[in-house]
Amino acid sequence: MKKLLVIIIMVIAFMMPITAYADMGPKDSLTVYVINPPAETYYLDLLTQKAESYNNFHEGEREKLNQNMLSLLYSYENEGWKPALVEGTGLPMWGDLIGKPSEKGYVHKFGYVGVPDVYRIIIVTESGNVSVSDVLTRKSLYSSVTYDYSTGHTTVPSLWNSYLVQFFTTLIPTLIIEGIILLLFGFALRENLKIFILTNIVTQIVLTLTVGLALIRSGPITAYLFQFPIEVIILIIESIIFARYLKGNSRKRRIAYGIVANLASWGFGFFFLSHQFILLSKIM
């Protein structure tokens, strides 16, 4: 058992630095909702300290914008903050300087690999007013923030909600799938309920701290990279636990149950992962 724990730690340590920048799968996305917006025309950009000259505009698009307002976006340049969309971040990104009305206020969407991880929101108006938020940090691939223009206050959805949704949308199907297989293998549910539930809760916590964390922070591609080694380790651990503590039937049957049940729930999790990411992206 100690060797298995060491393997888990080594796998986690090895996998953590992985970041998917390949041009495949979902890309970074940040949605900014502005409530109590200015009563006049305004531009909103993200301030970053890693700005580099990069043209994020199509040909002729920059020239159509209000040049005085674009200049105001550089109000904090002397403090090391430059507008990410207007100035560029070295990697491409797109965004909406001008907001669109929605149920949650005016919405500005920024996306692709150039979206900064550490940023401030800046709003400049046609009359020359400048408003800037505190420093914010993106902690998920898809994220959102609400900015109250009248107070300068920002609100970011708690990632704990995403982790809880990820945990329970994985745990509940697993309990159902592995519970049905438990009965099909001829084990009494009442006698084995405690060890069955406790084992699955613990292993789902491990999955949330590895696969779930990767899914929320980096997207499904990175999560798939985590899933294989972690699921193999969980299959081994659960098979050992069930072989020792399940009541009824032979040891070989208990081991066989552990293998079959884990392969079945693993298969479900593999195909459900991308759908789970879509669900989580709506609350991040």
Question: CATH 2.60.40 in the chain, residues?
Answer: 29-155
Longest Cα separation, the chain: 80
**Structure token digits, residue 94:** 């797109």
Q: How does pLDDT run across 138-148, given as a tens digit for each residue?
A: 999 999 999 99
Predicted local distance difference test score (pLDDT) of residue 93 = 87
Mean pLDDT across 96-107: 91
The Cα 232–Cα 204 span in angstroms is: 13
Rg (CA), the chain: 24
Domain boundaries 29-155, CATH class: mainly beta
What count of other Cβ atoms lies within 10 Å of the Cβ of residue 235?
Answer: 18
pLDDT over 70 (residue 21): no
The Cα 51–Cα 28 span in angstroms is: 17
Q: How does pLDDT run across 228-252, given as a tens digit for each residue?
A: 999 999 999 999 999 999 999 899 9
pLDDT over 60 (residue 19): no
Predicted local distance difference test score (pLDDT) of residue 53 = 67
pLDDT band for position 3 (cuts 50, 70, 90): very low
Identify whether the C-beta of residue 56 lies closer than 8 Å to the C-beta of residue 95. Answer: yes
What count of other Cβ atoms lies within 10 Å of the Cβ of residue 99?
Answer: 20
pLDDT band for position 91 (cuts 50, 70, 90): confident
What percentage of the chain reaches a pLDDT higher than 70?
90
Q: Which residue has the tokens 């991308």?
A: 274
Return mean pLDDT, the chain.
Answer: 88
Mean pLDDT across 43-48: 96
pTM: 0.79
Contacts of 3 (CB under 8 A, 6+ apart): none
